[in-house]
Structure 1
Amino acid sequence: MDLNALRYFLVIAEEQHLTRAAERLQMAQPNLTRIMRKLEEELGFVLFERSNKRRFALTPAGETFLKQMSPMLKQYEKAVQAAKQVAQGEREKLVVGYTPVAMFNGVLPALMQIYQHFPEVELLPRDISAASRQMVLNMLHDGRLDVAFLPHGSEEPGLECELISMTTLVVVLPANHPLADQPAIPLAALAQEAWIQPSRSLNPRWHDDLAHLFQQAGFKQRVVHWTPQAHTLVSQVAAGLGLAILSTWTQQHLPHQGVVYRPLQDCEYMMEFHALWRKEDRSPLMQTFLRRCQSETEAS
């Protein structure tokens, strides 16, 4: 079957007028009519009503054929374009901003593995852990990032946000801490401790949520160190410089002989992990990426 005939069929179906379709395709009407009749002969059914010589309305069979064939043709053309890009040494690029959370919960490493099987796509991870939240939002807006993984969502105009996963919190203590043997620790029992936290500019929402948790426990935290990197924070706890609140994702991926991780007793707070991207980006590549994010989260 001639693929050009299928493309011509789509144009006529959109225009429902032979003259306009011929002008749009820049071809003579008799040739277009002949090609459509040949297509109908191959298919074995009539695609258009021809009661009006110029107006071509679809028959019920034509409507069904259009509905089923149109996405298949688009997928075919997409496959051809992707193959051409590979043949010419060109690949689609997707720039992904991530923080350590994206590494610790396993989503980004799994996606990197999956996309090794897609030679037409170049997945470019970019560490944004040292960038403030506002800087990351600006990078999404101006196209320096296509998608960003961040703790907590955003109602930023022009951006879409989707919850990827959630987890609970743990307190990180030195291994020799008096409460290290407890199966779970109430936050109120740590009122006199020094604390280590990331800078507020990196994630204002997380900073404010922590302050609220401490307030609910009846005290204000005494922060002695501001540390952007989770692995540095854990090392500082091991050195006895203070305690920290982290997620169970960090617990699973940053084991350290000098610390213990303990659940917070009666704490219902859940840390959220979101993907953010531009609303205007409806590309098949972005949609495929988001679906794979969801499937990796469900599988973990």
Structure 2
Amino acid sequence: MDLIALRYFLVIAEEQHITRAAERLQMAQPNLTRLMRKLEEDLGFTLFDRSNKRRFALTPAGKTFLQQIIPLLQQYEDAVQVAKRVAQGEGGKLVVGYTPLAMFIGVLPALVQVYQRSPEVELLPRDISAVSRQMVLRMLRDGRLDVALLPHGSEEPGLACELLSTSSLVVVLPVNHPLADQQAIPLAALAREAWIQPSRSLNPRWHDDLAHLFQQAGFEPKVVHWTPQAHTLVSQVAAGLGLAILSTWTSQQLPHQGVVYRPLQDCEYLLEFHALWRRNDRSPLLQTFLRRCKGENEAS
């Protein structure tokens, strides 16, 4: 059955006049009449009482058909609009893996707020801070994650990677530390300190980069605690258990009256923040999400 003919039937029913309906539809009246005859043939019953040429009234069967067809046409229009939004990247489901950095940078919270205003989009954030990097890559490849927001990017088979932002490093010291009043601190000046670091299994690249920084400073750190969560790490520093190195992103989002954050002097290292996704994923929703990631980062 022709949906156009059903829409035309609806207009005639509203106007109750074939000439006015044809004018409203901007078409010739004979063509409209012919379409309605064909619709009645397809249905097997008469829709219009044609005994009154001035008034194109509905038959009882036509009235019943009208009542049933109106919600169906509305449902069709709604379906078209929802499908268009999906095609334009404004509908569907997206599973996003994130680490605390995505929260500290502000990218993910801003995107969650955006998609909360789009009921056609189901954005499912998944905390992967306690998951090893290799497991995250496996989850991307097998479809358990659609995109992952991670520090450090690298070329991975089957995955695409895009740099979203970079950050310099700071050292976290207790407020009563002898060097707490300095504006910047050379890492070599902290050679005798105890250190708190995240586990290597969670982020081998970050662990290896820190080791390289310490090596350049001329010492091997004495690590006394392995702590996966940044807020726990800051609390441990405040308690005097050791020092730590974090990004400026994290330091801005974790103020603590018991610690100070100081830039590392003459340190050119930049921590990178990336989005990773399956290279063959052409989902419009994913592409829209990635564009918004970059936009939110540039705005922050």
Same fold, TM-score > 0.5, yes or no: yes
Q: Cα distance 1:181–1:78, how it changes in 2: closer, same or farther (>3 A)?
A: farther
Q: Is the 8 A contact 1:147 1:275 kept in 2?
A: yes
Using the TM superposition, give the Cα deviation of residue 121 of structure 1 relative to its aligned residue in structure 2, in angstroms.
Answer: 0.4
Residue of structure 2 in register with 1:299 after alignment: 299
Q: Cα distance 1:140–1:287, how it changes in 2: closer, same or farther (>3 A)?
A: same
The higher relative CO (CA closer than 8 Å, separation ≥ 6) is in: 2
Residue of structure 2 in register with 1:189 after alignment: 189
Residue of structure 1 in register with 2:123 after alignment: 123
Using the TM superposition, give the Cα deviation of residue 81 of structure 1 relative to its aligned residue in structure 2, in angstroms.
Answer: 5.8
Measured in 1, the distance between the counterparts of 2:266 and 2:202 equals 27
SS in 2 for 1:269: coil
Residue of structure 2 in register with 1:233 after alignment: 233
Q: Is the 8 A contact 1:238 1:259 kept in 2?
A: yes
Matching residue's letter, 1:169: L
Matching residue's letter, 1:104: F
Residue of structure 1 in register with 2:149 after alignment: 149
Residue of structure 1 in register with 2:180 after alignment: 180
Query: What is the root-mean-square deviation in Å for CA atoms of aligned residues?
Result: 2.2
The Cα offsets for residues 17-57 of structure 1, whole Å up to 9 and x where unpaired, read as: xxxxxxxxxxxxxxxxxxxxxxxxxxxxxxxxxxxxxxxxx
Residue of structure 2 in register with 1:285 after alignment: 285
Q: Is the 8 A contact 1:171 1:263 kept in 2?
A: yes
Using the TM superposition, give the Cα deviation of residue 92 of structure 1 relative to its aligned residue in structure 2, in angstroms.
Answer: 1.5
Q: Is the 8 A contact 1:149 1:275 kept in 2?
A: yes
The Cα offsets for residues 68-102 of structure 1, whole Å up to 9 and x where unpaired, read as: xxxxxxxxx9982625999xxxx621010000000
- Give unmatched runs, 5+ long, in structure 1: 5-76
Q: Cα distance 1:293–1:85, how it changes in 2: closer, same or farther (>3 A)?
A: closer
Q: Is the 8 A contact 1:170 1:261 kept in 2?
A: yes
Measured in 1, the distance between the counterparts of 2:235 and 2:195 equals 13
SS in 2 for 1:262: strand
Instruction: From the CA coordinates, give the structure whose radius of gyration is larger.
Output: 2
Measured in 2, the distance between the counterparts of 1:169 and 1:189 equals 16
Measured in 2, the distance between the counterparts of 1:211 and 1:196 equals 13
Residue of structure 1 in register with 2:36 after alignment: none
Residue of structure 2 in register with 1:112 after alignment: 112
SS in 2 for 1:157: coil
- Give unmatched runs, 5+ long, in structure 2: 5-76
Measured in 2, the distance between the counterparts of 1:124 and 1:144 equals 11
| Percent of paired sites with the same residue | 83
Measured in 2, the distance between the counterparts of 1:211 and 1:275 equals 24
TM-score, length of structure 1 as denominator length: 0.71
SS in 1 for 2:205: helix
Give the stretch that moved more between structures: 120-129 or 109-118.
Answer: 109-118
Using the TM superposition, give the Cα deviation of residue 133 of structure 1 relative to its aligned residue in structure 2, in angstroms.
Answer: 0.4
TM-score, length of structure 2 as denominator length: 0.71
The Cα offsets for residues 152-178 of structure 1, whole Å up to 9 and x where unpaired, read as: 002110000000000100000011000
Residue of structure 2 in register with 1:94 after alignment: 94
Residue of structure 2 in register with 1:224 after alignment: 224
Alignment of 1:1-300 (within 5 A): 80=80, 82=82, 92-300=92-300
Measured in 2, the distance between the counterparts of 1:113 and 1:187 equals 39
Matching residue's letter, 1:80: V
Q: Is the 8 A contact 1:164 1:274 kept in 2?
A: yes
